[in-house]
Every structure is written in C-alpha cells, then in structure tokens.
Amino acid sequence: MKPIGHTIIRLDEVESTSTLMLEDSAYLENHGLVVIARHQTGGRGRMGRRWASLPGGQLQFSLVLHPNLPPEEVPLLSLVSGLAVARALEDVLALSPALKWPNDVLLGGGKVCGILVEGAPGRGGRPRLVIGIGVNCDGTPGDFPPEVRASLTTLAHETGAPVDKEALLQAILAQLNALHERLAAGDKAALLAEWSRRALLRGHRVRMNAADGAREGEPVGLTAEGCLIIATDDGGQYAQLSGELEWLR
Ligand code: BTN
C-alpha cells in the first residue's frame, strides 16, 4: 500500500476538498492521495454544519483512505484521526491537546481542529474513506463568524507564534500512516486506551440525540468498538455508535 500523502494536490480555492474527492472516482480510487486548499468556499463540518474558512489561515485538506481493516474496525479510523492530529501537535509544537468524542481536537477548551470522515462504496463493496481535516492555524477566534467564535481557538492564539503549516501537515500524515498500520496490525486496544487518556470524559455532561430519543449523562469511556459509554442519571450505562452528541459542559 502506498503511504498516505504519496501525492499532494495543492489548490488555491475549492468549494470543499472532501466534496471534490467524493464526487470523482479518479480521486476515490487513489489510496493515500491528499488534496489541500488555501481556501474553501463551502467547507463542510459534521452533522451538516458549515466549516468556516479563513483564507490562507488554516490547514484544510482531505485524503483518501482504503482501510486495511476488518469492516467492524473501520469506524475506529474516526477516533484514530483525532489521535493522529493530537500527536502531531505534540510533536511539532509541544502542545498537549485534548480529544472530544468523536474527533474534535481542543486546546485550552477551544476547538482547534475538526475532522469529517465520510465513506463511499468502492470496488467489491470495500469502503473508501475521505477524511477531511481542518486545523485553525493563524489569526484569533475574533476573525471567525460570531456564531462559532466562542467555541474555537487557533494555534497562533494559543502559542503566540506563527505556525509552520507544512511541517504540521507532514506530521499529521506521518501519524495517520503509523496509526493506520498499528490498527491493521491488531493494536486496537492500545490505541483506544491512548485516545481515552487524552479525552474529555468524567466530570463533563453530554446529551446524545439519537433516532430513539435524547439521553443525558456523563461520558466515562469507550467500548472496544469505539462507542462512547455514557453513564446516565438512573445509574445505567449505554453506548451508541452514531448519533449527535451535544456537550453540555
Ligand atoms: C467538524 O468539526 O465539524 C468537521 C470539520 C471538517 C473540516 C474539514 S476542512 C477540509 C475538509 N473539507 C471540508 O469541507 N471539510 C473538511
């Protein structure tokens, strides 16, 4: 398998690097291809939200991944992508980011990176994933639209220094390659344990909005499949793989 990042296409402006890849099988069939853009005019976030783009001020890219994993482990790549970004921020900038399920990366309580993992069916039913990663690098929260300002931060704001986006890109790609290989080698339990060590869990309160209703509680850990386990007020616990998680505090 070629490494993730074997080819990097660099664009000045595009609607969304992820949409571009999902709409063209020539991109989707190319495992490891990366498309990076200086500006996205229609960047997309999780749950149908918009992803605000600061022209030139973010690291915004998508990559195609053909998982070398059994189907039940493919969803773990969502958690592992957040872990890869956290490790890269630690390596390049000596920061200690926190992870918020499923894959937000936080610094000082503000979101510094968002990740969108989308699947497309490939040949023989094998999934092709498009993993889109956006890291807020330059500027301050005040440069972003008012509705997202309070919840995000930027690397420059946290470190007080400009960010070498190329070094950060290469470090994230190196971590993604290493972690995908470790998962394929059966190291799932160790990676989930590392994710949990870096995660916001006990002491927080969440509401899971799922098809069968909303339930509130305290996030306490992960199942072996990467579902978030929530301890509910009635003393029970439940875990759900998909649903919209609202962080109440
Ligand atoms: C989120 O936190 O809601 C996910 C944000 C993902 C943003 C990235 S930027 C590169 C790629 N292209 C997109 O349109 N979205 C992802």
Residues 125 and 240 grouped into a single domain: no
Residues 163 and 48 grouped into a single domain: yes
Q: Reply yes or no on whether the pLDDT at 243 is more than 90.
A: no
Residues 44 and 70 grouped into a single domain: yes
Reported as a single tens digit per residue, the pLDDT across 115-146 is: 999 998 777 778 999 999 999 999 999 999 99
CATH assignment of the domain containing 94: 3.30.930.10
Going by CA atoms, what residue is nearest to atom 9 of ligand 1? 134
Residues 173 and 222 grouped into a single domain: no
> Is 2 a member of any domain?
no
Measured in angstroms, how far is the CA atom of residue 44 from the centroid of ligand 1? 5
The residues lining ligand 1, judged by C-beta closer than 6 Å to any ligand atom, are: 16-18, 40, 43-46, 49, 51, 60-62, 114-116, 132-134
Average pLDDT, the chain: 94
Residues 213 and 189 grouped into a single domain: no
Q: What is the mean pLDDT of residues 212-239?
A: 90
Give CB contacts under 8 A, 24+ apart, made by 210-219.
Answer: 210/240, 210/242, 210/243, 210/244, 211/243, 216/248, 219/101
Atom of ligand 1 nearest to the CA of 40: 14
The count of domains in the chain is 2
> Is 185 a member of any domain?
yes
Residues 22 and 133 grouped into a single domain: yes
> Is 1 a member of any domain?
no
Residues 92 and 26 grouped into a single domain: yes
Q: Reply yes or no on whether the pLDDT at 87 is more than 80.
A: yes
Kindly state the tokens that stand for 125.
């039913």
pTM of the model: 0.96
Reported as a single tens digit per residue, the pLDDT across 132-186 is: 999 999 999 999 999 999 999 999 999 999 999 999 999 999 999 999 999 999 9
Atom of ligand 1 nearest to the CA of 18: 12
Residues 61 and 175 grouped into a single domain: yes
| Residue at a domain's end among 197, 214, 239 | 197
Residues 24 and 114 grouped into a single domain: yes
What region, left, alpha or beta, does residue 108 occupy, with left being phi > 0 and alpha being psi -120 to 50 degrees?
left
Residues 148 and 237 grouped into a single domain: no
Structural domain including 224 reads 206-247
| Residue at a domain's end among 197, 223, 238 | 197
> 8, 13, 44: which to mutate for ligand 1, most atoms within 8 A of CB?
44
Q: Pick the residue with more confidence: 218 or 244?
A: 218
The residue type found at 121 is P
